[in-house]
Amino acid sequence: MGSTSATVAVTGLGGLAYGLLLFVVAAGLKLILGVMKVMNLAHGASYLAGTWLAYLFADGTLTGLALALAAGLAAATVGGAGLAALLRPLAGHTEQAVVTLGLGGIIAWLFSRISGGSSLTVPRPGLLDGHLSFAGHGYPIYHLAFIAVAALIAVAMHQVLHRSMAGIALRAAIDDPPIAATLGLSATRIRIAAITVGTALAVGAGVLGAPVLGPAPGVDATVLTLSLIVVILGGAGTNIRALLIAALVVGMVNYVGAVVAPGLASFSLFLVVIAVLVVRRQGLRTAVAA
C-alpha cells in the first residue's frame, strides 16, 4: 500500500507540468492582449497546430523534436505576420476578436477533418521515454524534462522583459503607447513582433507539450479557456511572476483537486477563480479606503 502523501506528491508533479504548460501559452496570449489590446481567440488553435507539427515530425528522436520546434517557430512567424495583416483593416477590438474566433474554428475543423476526429498519440523521444517509480507511483520522464524546459522559458522571459532593451521597449509600448511612440518606437513593428512572439509561444508549447496534452478534438478550446483564466487571474500589468503563480494555481487545482476532492473536480477551478477575483476586489477596496 502506498501512502496518501506520495499520491498527492506525484499528482502535484502533474499539476506543476500542466501549470507550466499553461504559463507558456498564457504568456503568449497576454503579450498579444497587452500590445494589440485583442483577445486572440485563435490562440488555442495555435497550440493545437503545434501539437500537430510534433505529431508529424515525431520519429522517436530528439532531432525529430527539434525539427518540429523549428517548423513550429517558422509557422508561427508566417502565421503571426498573417494574423497581424488580417486584423489591421479591422477597427474595433471586438471585430478583431471575432475574426480570431473564426480562424481558430477553421484550424480546429481542418484538424478534425485530417485526423478523422480521433485523438493522436505523439510518441516521446526514446531518450525521454518511460517513467520513474517511487512509492508504487510512476511519473513519465518526459514530463520531468518538460517541467525543466518550461521553467527555463519562464526565467528567460523574465530576464528579457526586465533586463533587455527589447523588453523595456515592449513594456513601454504596452503601458503607454503614445509616450512610446514619441520615443521613436515603431508601433507597427512592436505589434508584429508581439503577435509573432505570442503565437510562437503557443505553437512552441504545443510542440513541446504534445506528449503531455496531445492533438485531440477539443484541446484547442481547453487550452484557450484555461489560458484565458490564467491571464485574468494574473491581473493587469506586465507581471511575469503573477502570471506564473496564476498558471501554477490553475494546474494544481486541476490535478491535486481531482485527488483531494474528486466530487468537485468538474468545477473546482471555477470556485477558485471566483474566490480569487472577489477577494482581490475586496483587497483593492480596502486599499483605497485606507
Partner 1 sequence: MTTRNLRRQPTGRAVRLARTIAATTGVLMLTAAAGCAGSSLDTTANDTPSGDTITVGLILPKTGPYQSLGEDMAEAWDLYLELHGGKLGGHTIVTKTADEGTDEATARKSALKLLDQDHATVLVGSASAVPSAVIAPLAAARHVPFIGTGGRPSDKVMPDVSYVWHTSWQSRETGAAIAPYLAKTIKGSVYAIGPAYTGGYDQLGGFTDAFVKAGGKLANPEGGNAPGGNAFAETPFPGTKDYKPYLNKVRASGAKAVYTFYAGADAIQFVKDYRDAGLSDVPLYAAGFLTEGDALESEGANADGIFTVLNYSPTISNQANAELVQDFQKKFNKTPTLYNVTAWDAAQVLDLAIAKASATPAGSPSSAPATGPSSAGASLAASSPASAGPTANGSGSASATTSAGSVPPVTGQAINTAIAGLGQINSPRDTFRLDPASHAPIQPFYLRKVQSDGRSRSNAVIATLIPAN
Between 93-115 and 62-87, two packed helices, what is the crossing angle to 10 degrees? Answer: 140
Q: Which of 120, 207, 230, 244 binds partner 1 (CB under 8 A)?
A: 120
Q: Which of 38, 216, 244, 248 binds partner 1 (CB under 8 A)?
A: 216
Place of cell 474595433: 92
Our finding on whether 42 is near partner 1 (CB under 8 A) is no
Our finding on whether 139 is near partner 1 (CB under 8 A) is yes
Query: Residue 234 and residue 30: Cα distance in Å, rounded?
Result: 9
Cell of 210: 504534445
Number of H helices, E strands in the chain: 11, 2
Query: Residue 182 and residue 149: Cα distance in Å, rounded?
Result: 38
Q: What is the CA radius of gyration of the chain?
A: 20
Q: Which is nearer to partner 1, 218 or 283 (CB)?
A: 218
Our finding on whether 10 is near partner 1 (CB under 8 A) is yes
Site stretch for partner 1 (CB under 8 A), options 6-14, 151-159, 183-191, 194-202: 6-14
Q: Which is nearer to partner 1, 69 or 223 (CB)?
A: 223
DSSP for residue 126: G
Query: Residue 255 and residue 264: Cα distance in Å, rounded?
Result: 12
Nearest distance, CB of residue 55 and partner 1, angstroms: 11
Considering only residues 22-41, where is the footprint of partner 1 by CB under 8 A? none
Per 3-state DSSP, what percentage of the chain is helix, strand, and coil (rounded to 5)? 80, 5, 20
Considering only residues 67-96, where is the footprint of partner 1 by CB under 8 A? 86, 89-91, 95
Residues that bind partner 1 (CB under 8 A): 1-4, 6-7, 10-11, 14, 18, 86, 89-91, 95, 99, 102-103, 106, 109-110, 113, 116-121, 131, 133, 135-140, 143, 213, 216-219, 222, 254-256, 258-259, 262, 265-266
